[in-house]
Chain A
Amino acid sequence: MSTATQAANQTLIHIEQLNLYYGTYHALKNVNLTIPEKAVTAFIGPSGCGKSTLLRTLNRMNDMIDGTRIEGLVSMGGTDIYSSDVDVETLRKKVGMVFQQPNPFPKSIYDNIAYGPRLHGIKSKSQLDEIVEQSLKQAVLWDEVKDYLKRSAFSLSGGQQQRLCIARALAVNPDVLLMDEATSALDPISTLKIEELVQELKNKYTIVMVTHNMQQAARTSDQTVFFLNGEMVEFDQTETLFSNPSDKRTEDYITGRFG
């Protein structure tokens, strides 16, 4: 159903001639890529090929790694996010991130969700209540936790914790959601729940996800990008990339011949 409409989606993120070095190690090599808004883009590729690195360039989390050097252009909504007048904290507020391991704060469920909004200046109790409820509902966790909001986030199961982390990211009202192997530590049922959630969320958010699970990329993404050794090998509509890859290396990878 969607190929035609997805193709019509506006481009939100432009990556041009991007090179990234960790010290002397050349981790991203001349990457060119466009990411459409309100769609799911999946990054696939063997371990160490630079998927997480590229994802972290989108919210500038690489800035915190000593010795990282970056060249090229990453623009989001028409703004070069590496230009000197960009406020990194504001960028990260607009570009949320969910990590491989659920990482709730050692606080209550409520305080986990309210952490971001409080950080950005929301103090009113009723407003926070509202945000907590909305975010948990969006992450399809509300019904399971609404009576236990004061409990520690660690009392939740791994899958619930990961949805809590998604809710926490949504609570600051981002435009983009980055997910780095967000389901790889979860059981199949939790994974499925999160995949369904992603389908819901793409109506409102631009989602970029890294996954090692080929079926997951095929099931949930609109567009897929294949990386190898820091290079972008191929990117296309997910259906096309999986059914009719144009590069031999992509074909080898998705048919499981290496990686």
Chain B
Amino acid sequence: MESNVAPSTTTKMNFKNSRSHLSDKIVPIILFLCAALSVLTTIGIVVTLLSETINFFKSVPFMDFLFGTKWSPLIEPKAFGILPLLSGTLLVTVIACIVAIPIGLASAIYLSEYAPKRVRKIVKPILEVLAGVPTIVYGYFALTFVTPLLKSIFPSMGVFNALSAGIVVGIMIIPMVSSLSEDAMSAVPKSLRHGAYALGATRFEVALKIVVPAAFSGIVSSAVLAFSRAIGETMIVAVAAGATPNLTLNPLESIQTMTAYIVQVSLGDTPHGSVEYGTIFAVGMTLFVITFLLNILAQYVARRFREEY
């Protein structure tokens, strides 16, 4: 074979490079460094968290931590059972989701299926601004507005309680649920809607039986993300839910969430390196694991329910 010999032709062409390709060599390096930075930071955080947590479990048995029903790391008699913090966190998170998921979904359906273009153009940016309000503002909104309102319904309720904090955390994450679900619904092709309208479906039937199922994986992801966001929320619960580690499912009582506990200890004068100080890493690790599992769940659900279109 003489495949390497180019047959000669009368028209000559050359393919030599005339521009400098320096940028093509440097740019990827810079981009890689930026990507690497965030990965390294994450690894750093996990490593710190992990080593401090391991240290902590040298003094406190793992089982006592996981299944203990009393949390009193700072005051004698000391107890390191995380269940009260876990129940407090779950209580607030579940209340928040009960508020945020239906309202967020309903407003997403309104925006994507009913609202005229003009309304959507105004409302969407407002929602996004709402998502940017500092959470401390929401915290004081809970304490000074929602709690007194609730107290007129439930007179026995304390100043600090899970219900008020949960509702306001829910209000805070509505824009996120709504915005993400709306994105998922808007991504459903117009042609599917037209197909259903042409069969005599009403707007509501198209929304409920075509758009929501087709956007289901996106909607579920937005709900799970909302759940993670509610679990991790700190300022609102620190301000409005109280600081009483309390193994209860009664939303009218004062409780303490994991995040609020971490704030309490970080701001206090607990000596660094002590077992008491180590608790915040153990609690932080627990939070990290829960959020991590939720993200995996979200990805699984999104894949499991994906309707191809």
A107 and B201 CA atoms in complex are apart in Å by: 16
> Which of B192, B194, B199 contacts A169 (CB under 8 A)?
B199
* Set of chain A residues within 8 Å of B307, measured between Cβ atoms: 106-107
**Is B77 in contact with chain A by the CB < 8 A criterion?**
no
Of A92, A101, A154, the most chain B CB neighbours within 10 A belong to A92
A172 and B201 CA atoms in complex are apart in Å by: 11
Please judge, given known A-B contacts A106-B192, A106-B308, A152-B308, whether A92 and B198 are in contact too, CB under 8 Å.
yes
Please judge, given known A-B contacts A119-B200, A168-B199, whether A66 and B117 are in contact too, CB under 8 Å.
yes
A105 touches B200 (CB 8 A): no
0/1 per residue, A16-43, Cβ < 8 Å to B? 0000000000000000000000000000
**Is B61 in contact with chain A by the CB < 8 A criterion?**
no
* Set of chain B residues within 8 Å of A165, measured between Cβ atoms: 195
A99 touches B191 (CB 8 A): yes
A105 and B307 CA atoms in complex are apart in Å by: 9
* Set of chain A residues within 8 Å of B197, measured between Cβ atoms: 61, 64, 92
B194 touches A61 (CB 8 A): yes
> Which of B189, B200, B202, B308 contacts A116 (CB under 8 A)?
B200
B213 touches A106 (CB 8 A): yes
Interface residues of A in 134-173 (CB under 8 A from B): 152, 154, 165, 168-169, 172
CB distance from A235 to the nearest CB of B (A): 25
0/1 per residue, A99-132, Cβ < 8 Å to B? 1010111110000000110011000000000000
B309 touches A89 (CB 8 A): no
CB distance from B224 to the nearest CB of A (A): 21
> Which of A90, A91, A96, A115 contacts B196 (CB under 8 A)?
A115
**Is B214 in contact with chain A by the CB < 8 A criterion?**
yes
B308 touches A154 (CB 8 A): yes
Q: How large is the interface on A (under 10, 10 to 19, 20 to 34, 35 or more residues)?
A: 20 to 34
**Is B7 in contact with chain A by the CB < 8 A criterion?**
no
* Set of chain B residues within 8 Å of A99, measured between Cβ atoms: 191, 194-195, 198
CB distance from B213 to the nearest CB of A (A): 7
Tell me the A residues contacting B by CB distance below 8 Å. Answer: 59, 61, 64, 66, 89-93, 96-97, 99, 101, 103-107, 115-116, 119-120, 152, 154, 165, 168-169, 172
Closest CB pairs A-B (n = 7): A93-B200, A106-B307, A97-B198, A103-B191, A116-B199, A92-B200, A89-B200
Tell me the B residues contacting A by CB distance below 8 Å. Answer: 116-117, 189, 191-192, 194-202, 205, 209-210, 213-214, 307-309
- Chosen A-B contacts, 28 in total, with CB atoms closer than 8 Å, are A59-B198, A61-B194, A64-B197, A66-B117, A89-B200, A90-B200, A93-B199, A93-B200, A96-B198, A97-B198, A101-B191, A103-B194, A104-B195, A105-B196, A105-B214, A115-B196, A115-B199, A119-B201, A119-B205, A119-B209, A120-B200, A154-B308, A154-B309, A165-B195, A169-B198, A169-B199, A172-B199, A172-B200
